[in-house]
Chain A
């Protein structure tokens, strides 16, 4: 469910197809900028009721999904 939400937000920001966004996709490959990342973080905070600090160690979609699942737990 977390992955589906992340994918939905990324599709809106990048015009990529669902098939192009997997757990292994890295943010740099998606061509999103630093403000896209903040916007995505704020959308995810609203969606899951968490506080998500922007962290440069989160390189892939999978890293982000794992982080959100930890915060939700």
Chain B
């Protein structure tokens, strides 16, 4: 026993920020951003918190699944940009849905949504749950340095969710962690202790762009190859690859190295930017609502990010 995906949902804030808008804030331009990152527009929250966006995605997923909030046995959420260190985003979503099931967050940065699925699969295997809600929600606009042109053009805000029920459609996963903070780091607010002697860095996203690119491409290639080998499948058996939407150049280069048509990859970074843990459930929801998915389709998810943590998983729709 593992699970089956019963429904999906997403929410993106209304405000659309264009590359031209950003060119008024930092020294950049539309052509540079399109070519280097592949983002054309991103959605930015004006008055919604991370968990409020998560609630909207959750409600959309519950409706899509035909599941009532009170049926939920567990809520797992992922974020690197929650409005509070505590309560967790999952707890605030539980509160807003008016339910009383267990709820907690898991931190694995941009890869976290796949870690939520892995954790949920354990509950299903032990028959501890019948319905589970997974949410990735991010207000990354709150943790980017809006004076740094190398990062502020990449990210966006949004939330995605899935509702899981009993089934056997989560086939397998691979997870790799290389702990370290040299490549990607998002420092916490360091506080104002009069006793602490170490410097406290600014609490904004830091990335070594070239090393992140290399890590991301290698992770996609090795994780997917390992996953397919472990399951005696070839790329031809896979209908869709839903990658973390970090940078279109990463996806294109990984597709080239894997010798897969880029069309197999589901891409929406052009409209939403990189939304970290929300990007995979948002892309899955768009794929689902496009009507292209058929029951029985094999989907590979692939994600990579801060930790460094990467994962790939294989799901039957």
Task: Give CA–CA (A66, B36) in the complex, Å.
Answer: 28
Interchain CB contact under 8 A, A33 and B36: yes
Least distance between B1 CB and chain A CB atoms (Å):
40
Is A1 in the interface zone, CB < 8 Å from B?
Answer: no
Question: Do A35 and B210 touch (CB < 8 A)?
Answer: yes
- A46: chain B residues within 8 A (beta carbon): 257
Q: Indicate if B104 sits at the interface (CB-CB under 8 A).
A: no
The verdict on A28 contacting chain B, using a C-beta distance below 8 Å, is no
Mask of B22-56 contacts with A, CB within 8 angstroms, 1/0: 00000000000001100000000000000000000
* Contact B210 A54, beta carbon cutoff 8 Å: yes
Q: Closest residue of chain A to B217, judged by CB?
A: A42
Chain A, Cβ-Cβ closest to B252 = A39
> Min CB distance, B214 to chain A, in Å?
6
Nearest 10 Cβ contacts at the A-B interface: A38-B210, A38-B213, A35-B249, A54-B210, A39-B253, A38-B214, A34-B210, A35-B213, A33-B36, A34-B209
Nearest B residue to A43 via CB reads B257
Asked whether A9 is an interface residue with its Cβ less than 8 Å from the other chain, the reply is no
8 A-B contacts (beta carbon < 8 Å): A35-B210, A35-B213, A37-B210, A38-B214, A39-B213, A41-B214, A42-B214, A42-B217
Interface residues of A (CB under 8 A from B): 33-35, 37-39, 41-42, 46, 54
Give how many B residues have a beta carbon under 8 Å from the other chain's beta carbons.
Answer: 11
Q: Mostly helix, strand, loop or mixed at chain B's interface?
A: helix
- CA distance in complex: A35, B160 (Å): 29
Chain B residues with CB under 8 A of A39 = 213, 249, 253
The answer to whether A35 touches B217 (Cβ under 8 A) is no
Question: Which residues of A have CB within 8 Å of B36?
Answer: 33, 35
- Shortest beta-carbon distance from A39 to chain B in Å: 6
Residues of B within 8 A of A54 (CB): 210
The CA-CA distance from A71 to B218 in the complex, in Å, is: 21
Across-interface contacts of B257 in A (CB, < 8 A): 42, 46
- 16 more CB-based (< 8 A) A-B contacts, given A42-B214, A54-B210: A33-B35, A33-B36, A34-B209, A34-B210, A35-B36, A35-B209, A37-B210, A38-B210, A38-B213, A39-B249, A39-B253, A41-B214, A42-B217, A42-B218, A42-B253, A46-B257
- Interface membership of chain B positions 189-221, coded 1 if the CB is closer than 8 angstroms to chain A and 0 otherwise: 000000000000000000001100110011000
B249 nearest in chain A by CB position: A35
Which residue from chain B places its CB closest to the CB of A34 in the assembled complex? B210
For B221, give the chain A residue with the smallest CB separation: A42
Closest Cβ–Cβ distance, residue B102 to chain A (whole Å): 42
CA distance A37 to B36 in the complex (A): 12
CB distance from A21 to the nearest CB of B (A): 21
Q: Which residue from chain A places its CB closest to the CB of B247 in the assembled complex?
A: A35
Instruction: With both chains docked as a complex, state the minimum distance between the C-beta of A57 and any C-beta of chain B, in angstroms.
Output: 15
- Give Cα A54–Cα B218 distance, bound, in whole angstroms: 16
Distance between Cα atoms of A7 and B209 in the complex (Å): 25
Most-contacted residue by chain B among A34, A37, A38, A54 (CB, 10 A)? A38
